[in-house]
Structure 1
Amino acid sequence: MRFPPRITRIGASAAVLSALLIGGTVSATTAHAAVGSVCYSKLPSQAYDTLKLIEQGGPFPYSQDGVVFQNREGVLPSQSSGYYHEYTVKTPGSSTRGARRIVTGEQTDEDYYTADHYATFNLIDYDC
């Protein structure tokens, strides 16, 4: 299984702040305006386990982990096919994969958390 490269990015919050200070506009593709944010410390403990597995390159508990995320819902910024990959965040008590996922982008720290099976996403903020 091939895992996406992780390259440096400018933080979404910096892009939003810059636009607000300068009086410009913010696009969803540059500032991830279509998604919210969540502090790393506020994630469920199972998300930490998933993020650790992603950093280690596995092994993953589900065969679907690491597959290309298609972004069919269009909630995340539009990118080329293969840009996003999805991973299961275990749900205690669930006999299935459940609804929780981490979706990674190719850029460093571009990790999104969803608790509702892709209806909404939050960019994980590692600085809080």
Structure 2
Amino acid sequence: MLPNGAAQARESVAMPVVRLAELPPEAVKTHGLILSGGPFAYDKDGSVFGNRERLLPREKRGFYREYTVETPGARNRGARRIICGGKRPAAPEACYYTADHYASFRRIVE
């Protein structure tokens, strides 16, 4: 049995990655807002993401927070999100992008 940290490292290696510069401009903007602490357009931004889909590495509840990525032409929040995890929201340990409302994720790398 692997120690918890080793299991998490293995899970994050298997996660597909995307470079920040390859994301839509709205996602780059949202990522910048996350790092600067906001302000965010939606009340739900910064709320706890439960990882119910279990597609992200397992962490204690409250580790992950979700943020809306604007979708041009959408009348609501749309399906695009950035999920970041860490002890301090403005200094996340890892961020993930989903364009399909949590059906898949890619880890954001600089």
State TM-score, norm by structure 2. 0.84
Instruction: Please tell me whether the aligned partners of residues 70 and 84 of structure 1 are also in contact (alpha carbons under 8 angstroms).
Output: yes
1:33, distance to aligned residue in structure 2 (A): 4.2
Partner of residue 3, structure 2: none
Percent identity, aligned pairs only, is: 49
**How many matched pairs?**
100
8 Å CA contact 2:98–2:105 kept in 1: the answer is: yes
Matched, 1:49 2:41: no
- The equivalent residue for 2:9 is 30
2: distance between equivalents of 1:40 and 1:109?
A: 15
Q: TM-score, normalised to structure 1's length?
A: 0.73
- Say if 1:71 and 1:45 are closer, same or farther in 2 by CA, change over 3 A: same
- 1:112 and 1:70 map into 2 onto residues whose CA distance is 14
Structure 1, gaps ≥5 residues long: 1-26
The structure with the larger Rg is 1
Match of 2:98 among 69, 91, 114: 114
- Deviation >6 Å, runs of 4+: none
The C-alpha deviation readout for 1:36-78, integer Å capped at 9, x for no partner, is 1101111000011101111121111000000000000000011
Q: Tell me if the contact between 2:21 and 2:28 (Cα under 8 Å) persists in the aligned partners.
A: no
Give the deviation of 1:114 after TM superposition: 0.4
Q: 1:74 to 1:34 in 2, by over 3 A?
A: farther
Report if aligned partners of 1:37, 1:122 keep a CA contact under 8 Å in 2: yes
Shift of 1:109: 4.8
Q: Structure 2: which 5+ residue stretches go unaligned?
A: 1-5
Q: Say which SS state the counterpart of residue 104 (structure 1) adopts.
A: strand
User: Which amino acid in structure 1 is aligned with residue 95 of structure 2?
Assistant: D
- 1:63/1:75 Cα in 2 relative to 1: closer, same or farther (>3 Å)? same
Mapped contact 1:91–1:98 kept (Cα < 8 A): yes
Cα-Cα RMSD? 1.6
